[in-house]
Amino acid sequence: MVKIKTILRLYYLGGVTRSRLIARAVDCGRTAVQECLRRAKVSGLTDWAAIDALDEEALEARLYPKSPGGPVKGTRRPLPDWARVREELARGDHQVTLALLWQEYKSEHPDGLQYSQFVCRYRKFEQKLSVVMRQHHRPGEKVFVDFCDGIRLTDPVTGAKIPTELFVGALGASSYTFARATISQAMPEWLDCHVRMYEDFHGVTAITVCDNLRSGIQRPDRYEAEVNESYQELARHYGTCVIAARVKKPRDKAKAEVAVLVAQRWILAALRHRTFYHLAELNEAIAPLLDKLNARVMRHVNASRRDLYERLDKPALRPLPETPYEYAQWRCVRLNIDYHAQFEDHYYSAPHALVKESLWVRATQDTVELYHKGKRVASHPRSFIKYAYSTVPEHRPASHRAYLEWTPSRLIAWGRSIGPATGALIDYVITHKPHPEQGYRSALGILRLSKTFGAERLERAADKALAINSPSYKTVKTMLKQRMEEAPMAASTESPKLGRANVRGRDYYH
């Protein structure tokens, strides 16, 4: 149900009216898409502004109420003679259209199919007549993208050869081509190439057709491929729809296959004798060859790609957004009992009411945002300080005991049940954090070591960690793994046990 808004966005804002394309884009069944659109129309949600104002929960409650009931299935409708319909269209008379034939059909069968179903079922009938169907691309509708092997760079110091990749994109109607060399097919390079491609086109197509590479498609499937979240976010930012070609079906992206072949012949082959030391140098050499390629006259249409682009695709492209897309990493995390989520060894706070809930982290170069059920619940400046905490005061509970199961006194009592040294170590860990809750994670980690190594060994390791002035989870864990808690300690290394001298005591928490 979390895909309801995406389905409606593609239909009402993106102009994608074919339920099959929407189903492949959002990774769900075609019947589910049709049912969602039907319910939206019945509910009166036919305007994207009204839909966008609702969050996912409200939208789901509006379209899929929990109360029982539903539409009554209609009776079987008479079907047209599809062979006759095809014969009428095949006569070559441009005045005969599917709309006209549907009107004639409705005059004979008033309770027959509506126009959309009439067209949809005829297209299905037509596809069965020929296994291979020539694709006709509408201006501004699709861009096809793919990677191929590029020219090897030469390391200026060692002389080693470094492989590169060539990203190629081609518009459907004009075959206008974009090409750029990258160092790999990784996610950042993949998304950056799309941003540069849309800027080169001075607009965005309604649909972006890609191959099933890992950077774009998380789970390839013949019918319902799952698009990576970062790639999906780029599509939402530019208002396009991502559709993956079927596995081992090159005809689904024939434009990209042809564009790759042309780029290899007219760009890579022309540069094969040159030596490049840097990626920027290679892209500077590609640019004029790309302009020359788009200016070449194609004999079968007697026009260049650029001429067709200016005449067909460019006027039909959607405008670019005000700001370019910024690459963001997405990761699903669980909010710990200290109401902090971990991302790349740093801890970011979220509202304490969401403790133990699953959140999505969206991280850019400068910002880390946390989302719960599609709503942003926290935002922090990104920090690269390892094992530090970024805490918003409003995220802290007014009374820790009222909201969290674990309290400092309970953790310390658990430690004392193992032994006095363990209890003192837990007290020290909680005491020496800016806020006691921030020590919960380390305290729980220490206490749970007893399940793996036993209570007696943990007590000895805790005593030794306090004795050497290193009272931390990492120290205790290392000792237990290496069995260092059993080794005798030299007299010169002993010093006052800071953990036992600096505890606040049980009364502090009451």
Mean pLDDT over each residue of the chain, to the nearest integer = 82
Q: Is the dihedral of CA 40, 42, 46, 49 positive or negative?
A: negative
Predicted pLDDT of residue 144? 92
Q: Which of 401, 432, 464 is the last residue of a domain?
A: 401
Domain boundary among 283, 316, 349: 316
Residues 463, 391 within the same domain: no
* Residue 39 burial by Cβ neighbours in a 10 Å radius (0-12, 13-18, 19+): middle
Same domain, 198 and 295: yes
- Count Cβ atoms below 10 Å from residue 409 Cβ, excluding itself: 16
Residue with tokens 């009938």: 125
410 versus 197: the higher-pLDDT residue is 197
The domain boundary, picked from 378, 401, 424, lies at 401
Q: Is the Cβ–Cβ distance between 179 and 206 less than 8 Å?
A: no
Task: Return the percentage of the chain with pLDDT > 90, whole number.
Answer: 24
Look-up of token digits 């191929």 = 148
pLDDT of residue 364: 81
Which pLDDT tens digit goes with each residue over 220-272? Answer: 666 666 788 888 889 999 999 888 876 666 555 677 788 898 998 899 988 98
Establish if 74 belongs to a structural domain.
Answer: no
For residues 440 and 411, the answer to whether their CB atoms sit within 8 Å is: yes
Q: Answer whether residue 363 shows pLDDT above 90.
A: no
Residues 396, 428 within the same domain: no
Distance CA 242, CA 52 (A): 20
* Start-to-end C-alpha separation, the chain: 46
Quick check: is 135 in a domain?
no
Place of tokens 């559709």: 243
- Determine the pLDDT at residue 92: 46
How many Å apart are CA 145 and CA 120, to the nearest integer?
27
The pair of three-digit structure tokens given for residue 432, joined into one six-digit string? 């020496």
Which pLDDT tens digit goes with each residue over 297-316? 887 677 899 998 998 889 99
Within-domain flag for 137 = no
Q: Are residues 153 and 280 in the same domain?
A: yes
Residue 73 lies in a domain: no
Residues facing 209 on adjacent strands:
144, 243
Check whether residue 343 and residue 246 sit in a common domain.
no
| Residues 6+ positions from 396 with CB-CB distance below 8 Å | 339, 349, 352, 435, 437
Is 349 a member of any domain?
Answer: yes
**pLDDT tens profile 111-145:** 888 888 888 888 887 776 544 434 557 888 899 99
pLDDT of 382 reads 86
Domains contained in the chain, number: 5
Q: Two tokens at 426?
A: 């837990």
Task: Map 70-81 to HEC letters.
Answer: CCCCCCCCCCCC
* Arithmetic mean of pLDDT, 272-281: 90
Same domain, 287 and 201: yes
Q: Which range has the worst mean pLDDT, 156-165, 314-323, 383-392?
A: 383-392
Most confident of 216-225, 392-401, 452-461: 452-461
How far is it, in rounded angstroms, from Cα 41 to Cα 116? Answer: 15
Range of the domain at 89: 82-127
- Residue 323 lies inside a defined structural domain of this protein: no
Is 80 exceeded by the pLDDT of residue 196? yes
Of 263, 252, 307, nearest in space to 286 by CA: 263
Give the pLDDT band (50/70/90) at residue 289: very high
Burial of 371 (0-12, 13-18, 19+ CB in 10 A): middle
Q: What is the CATH number of the domain that holds 286?
A: 3.30.420.10
**495 & 349 share domain:** no
pLDDT of residue 82: 81
- Nearest C-alpha neighbor of 497 from the set 425, 443, 435: 425
pLDDT band at 506 (very low <50, low <70, confident <90, very high): very low
In terms of domains, do 392 and 441 share one? no
Q: What is the pLDDT of residues 373-394, one digit of tens each?
A: 889 999 999 888 888 888 888 8
Contact, 28 vs 224, CB < 8 A?
yes
Given a cut of 70, whether residue 399 has pLDDT beyond it is no
Out of 143-157, 232-246, 495-509, pick the least confident: 495-509
Cα Rg of the chain, angstroms: 31
pLDDT of residue 131: 41
Task: Output the pLDDT for position 253.
Answer: 67
Q: How many residues does the chain have?
A: 510
Residue 194 pLDDT: 93
Question: pLDDT tens-digit profile of 458-478?
Answer: 999 999 889 888 888 889 999
- If asked whether residues 109 and 169 sit together in one domain, one would say no
| Residues 174, 303 within the same domain | yes
Does residue 324 sit within a domain? Answer: no
Q: Is residue 271 part of a domain?
A: yes
Predicted local distance difference test score (pLDDT) of residue 128: 66
Confidence of residue 372 (pLDDT cuts 50, 70, 90): very high
Query: How far is residue 356's CA from residue 334's CA, in Å, rounded to a whole number?
Result: 6
Q: Are residues 445 and 473 in the same domain?
A: yes
Sign of CA pseudo-dihedral 280, 285, 288, 289: negative
CA distance 317 to 200: 12
Give me the residues paired with residue 149 across strands. 165
Would you say 476 and 444 are in contact if contact means Cβ atoms under 8 Å apart? Answer: no
Span 171-177, mean pLDDT? 89
CB 498 within 8 A of CB 469: yes
251 and 377 in one domain? Answer: no
- The pLDDT of residue 439 is 76
Span 147-175, average pLDDT:
90
pLDDT at 438 over 90: no
Q: Please answer whether residues 485 and 453 qualify as being in contact, where contact means their C-beta atoms are separated by less than 8 angstroms.
A: no
The tokens for 124 are: 């299905």
Mean predicted confidence (pLDDT) in 477-499? 69
Tell me which of 491 and 200 has the higher pLDDT: 200
State mean pLDDT over 502-507: 51
